[in-house]
Amino acid sequence: MKGIENYIPGTGLGPDINKTTRFEYNLDGNLKKLIAENPTTGEQVTEWIYGVTVAQGSKLESKSLAYQKVYPDSTGSTDRVTFQYNRQRQAITMTDQAGTVHGYGFDMFGRGTEDAVSAFGTGVDQTVKKITRSYEVRGMLEKVSSFDTGSTPLNEVQFAYNDYSQLAKDYQSHSGAVNTGSTLHAAYAYASGSGNTVRRIGITYPDTSPTTITIAYDGTTADALSRPDTLKEGGTTLWSYRYLGSGVVVGVKYDAASNVELTYQDGGTGDAGDPYTGLDRFGRLVETLWKKSGTDQVRSKYGRNRFGGVTWRRDVNAHAQSPAVDTEHNYYWYDLYFRSRNESAANVSQQIRRDKTDKKRRKLPHALRGFLDSVKI
């Protein structure tokens, strides 16, 4: 199987065009080789070697588990990552290329409880030699602790939950074990359940003078949908929300920041015939408008490809200046996994014209069976 990124027909392999990656699989369907074709260095090959035995240190014999992973810069049989497994097919030992050996522990439920280093490679920091994880009786993560060689943690985090299994407190000790009476923590408050809801109603941030943010559901609709209307600190409203339908945010007003507002309405008619110009007929974001005391501050428009990815961003206010500031515009390209691969600044007004006229450059290659190869304008 082969994938080509930034595919341009009729051209050869280059550092940023027709980037080709080949995938090879064994008979069990496991990835055996990942080969990146590189015209400068030659093929970059990452290889997985399958087949583990008791003689190698595993607790079972299996041909479907990866014994070693070999990276392209490997210099020999010791310069690779090696694994050993228990009978549940979980990795219990991992030795990396530097010679650092990790041992992994599990409890009777198969949950990870320990990552302990028994040998360090040359030049590796040895401050933390073990990380442990423990769980409370309902199975939720309770503590994560770092150790040197002793039994006292170097640092630790601890979580406490309420009766509904919601996170209630998050302790973080940067030195030593958590002391629930003195260690700083973030606290989360929830409705009691008596009103048929256990929604979050507040967050308290740790400090010498703790700050509590209240999540308010003031309106009838907000209360019925458990949809927050405002966030407050004491009696001061920090910001408030406007919605489209049950949960689509179309406006955020930052009351505590001189009434700065993010809105998806500019007073005109949107793509779907509604007043929400910031959303297209598929509900995708195509425009954002920032205002302060009713005056436009930043207005950005977005173009999208047929898969929903943003292909360009145009700063309308910057473009309207004299002379126009075109460096505030952007193009975006994607790889074959729909990940944003590249970005460049340019005059998007020219790109919009090409987007409407140069159809051939937006065709999708058929070799990848429908996967987007690139968006190139």
Pick left, alpha or beta for residue 69 (phi over 0 → left; psi -120 to 50 → alpha; otherwise beta). Answer: beta
Q: How many CB atoms lie within 10 A of CB 366?
A: 8
Residue 158 and residue 143 in contact, taking contact as beta carbons nearer than 8 Å: yes
User: Which pairs with CB-CB distance under 8 Å and at least 24 residues apart come from 287-296?
Assistant: 288/262, 288/264, 289/262, 289/263, 289/264, 289/265, 290/260, 290/261, 290/262, 291/260, 291/261, 291/263, 292/258, 292/259, 292/260, 292/261, 293/258, 293/259
Q: Tens digit of pLDDT per residue, the chain (377 long)?
A: 888 877 778 788 877 778 889 999 999 999 999 999 988 888 999 999 999 999 999 999 999 999 999 999 999 999 999 999 999 999 999 999 999 999 999 999 999 999 999 999 999 999 999 999 999 999 999 999 999 999 999 999 999 999 999 999 999 999 999 999 999 999 999 999 998 999 999 999 998 788 999 999 988 999 999 999 999 998 899 999 999 988 899 999 999 988 899 999 999 998 889 999 999 999 999 999 999 988 889 999 999 888 888 888 888 887 777 666 665 678 877 766 666 555 555 555 544 444 443 333 333 333 333 333 443 43
Q: Which residue from 364, 254, 358 is spatially nearest to 7, judged by alpha carbons?
A: 364
